[in-house]
Amino acid sequence: MKAEIEYENQKFNIDLAQPLDISIPLRGNAQNVNAWYVSHPKIEPHRDGDFVGKVAKGASVNFNDIWFNPHAHGTHTECVGHITEEFYSVNQHLNQYFFLAALITVVPELQDDDWVISKHILEVALKSEIVKALVIRTSPNERTKLTKQYSHSNPPYLLEEAIIFLLEKGVEHLLVDLPSVDKEKDEGALSGHKAFWNYHGTLRKQATITEFIYVPDAIEDGRYILNLQMAPFENDASPSRPVLYKIDG
């Protein structure tokens, strides 16, 4: 199914029948990807007295309760409300869903005991390109990212200088295959998040960070149309499903 998308006075042709899903599905067991020291998600039949919401247990429908944390349990999109005392809902501030995006693959470098994404790494990967949405895939890119237990593992992160560079490039929507753009244990500094949302100035309320994506190796680096789908939770973050579409021509 071919479609023509007009984005910022440019027209792009995409095939809606060929979506490239870069989200991680949420499962109700210990094999679900996890971070931030919380237990795994739970998807269980609702129970009320003798009622068990499962057809196999005699109910007329399957009727599950779901417990999860969007930040810890899979692909999610967050807004500045993640770090502010005042409440901001990502559902209220993300009100556009298609973007021209660049996908880049980077290899974090070792600094002291940390693997980091520096400004230099992004300069080399992006060159002169300016995009509103940026998708970062880190290498190595094992499928274990779909089930990895990240707590206490000190995963790679972006240096503050790298985030500031992305702002200079015009990035408003940042997608990463990491549990956070910041260091796991930074004593609450959150320098990357704060720089991205201009925490100490005029807040970038329209800007979003999407974490815990997974981009298979079969998807090549380059420009795509991004459809950033998100569940309508009135919360600082919501589970999301970013989908890429190849641009024809």
Catalogue all structural domains in the chain, each as residue range(s) with its CATH number.
Answer: 2-25+70-248 (3.50.30.50)
Percentage of residues in the chain having pLDDT higher than 70 = 100
Render pLDDT for 1-22 as a digit per residue (tens, 0 to 9). Answer: 888 888 888 899 999 999 999 9
| DSSP assigned state of 107 | -
Closest CA to 154 of 193, 192, 117, 183: 183
| DSSP assigned state of 149 | B
Closest CA to 46 of 35, 36, 57: 57
* pTM value > 0.85: yes
CA distance 228 to 232: 12
CA distance 78 to 89: 9
| DSSP notation for 156-173 | -EE-HHHHHHHHHTT--E
CA distance 179 to 224: 23
Task: Reply yes or no on whether the pLDDT at 230 is more than 90.
Answer: yes
Task: Reply yes or no on whether the pLDDT at 156 is more than 80.
Answer: yes
Say which residue, 89 or 10, is predicted with more confidence. 89
| DSSP assigned state of 40 | P
Q: In b/e form, how buried is each residue of 84-116, taking b as 16+ CB within 10 angstroms?
A: eeeebbbbebbeeebbbbbbbbbebeeeeeeeb
Q: How confident is the model at residue 112, as a pLDDT?
A: 94
CA distance 249 to 168: 28
Number of helices and strands in the chain (H, E): 4, 17
CA distance 107 to 10: 32
> CA-based Rg of the chain, rounded to a whole angstrom?
19
95 Cβ neighbours under 8 A, 6+ residues apart: none
Q: What integer is the mean pLDDT of 182-187?
A: 97
Render pLDDT for 92-127 as a digit per residue (tens, 0 to 9). Answer: 999 999 999 999 999 999 999 999 999 999 999 998
Q: Which residue, chain included where needed, has tokens 């109700």? A: 28
Contact at 8 Å (CB) between 28 and 225? no
Task: Reply yes or no on whether the pLDDT at 249 is more than 80.
Answer: no
